[in-house]
Amino acid sequence: MKKALSAVTACGLVLAGCGTTTSDRTLSGAGIGAGAGAVVGAVTSLGVPEAAVLGAVAGGLTGALTKPDQVNLGKPAWSQNSPPPTASASPAQQGSAQYSNYAYAPADPGTVRQIQAALKHLRLYDGQVDGIAGPRTQSAIRTYQQQNGLAVNGQPSTQLLEHLRQRGVAGTSA
């Protein structure tokens, strides 16, 4: 019994790291923990339902209590693609809505280069324009997002590039 509980808890601890927000990490941790618990319950005397519940609790708590820099398996599946903003919103509202209501779209190296060039033009970025979204790029993006009233996530995205273009920032060729 103790071995089964330890195994369920370990699975929850290891696998609860999807997402950078507390709610994403809690949800993914609970889901992954429940699945791992069910497997443990199937092969032990603990029982599937009991082990699934224990796994969900362990994973959910781990996701809620850890930080992304401690355990991070990347973005959860439900935030990989995001719907477009509503057509009735103005372009300025759409830019803000894209950052506050939806997950960001992943940026390719060409998009990252354009964002870096624009942030360099704004004197927010002092690194190389290389298409790699490293710590300097993420810091410059966070500064830009803060200065422009956007939700701050520090991630390059097509939505961020569009926001820069709407403001006519050099380096953001269409």
Per-residue pLDDT tens listing for the chain (174 residues): 666 556 655 554 554 456 667 777 777 777 777 777 788 888 888 788 887 788 778 877 877 777 766 665 666 655 555 444 444 444 444 444 444 434 455 688 999 999 999 999 999 999 999 999 999 999 999 999 999 999 899 999 999 999 999 998 877 666
The Cα–Cα gap between 48 and 63 comes to: 22
Query: For the whole model, what pTM was predicted?
Result: 0.42
| Residues near 55 by beta carbon (within 8 Å), at least 6 away in sequence | 8, 11, 12, 33, 34, 35, 36, 37, 38, 40
Q: Is 108 exposed, middle or buried (0-12, 13-18, 19+ CB in 10 A)?
A: exposed
Query: Is-contact 55 11, C-beta < 8 A?
Result: yes
Q: Sketch out the chain's domains with CATH numbers.
A: 2-65 (no CATH), 89-166 (1.10.101)
Q: Look up residue 21 and give its DSSP letter.
A: S
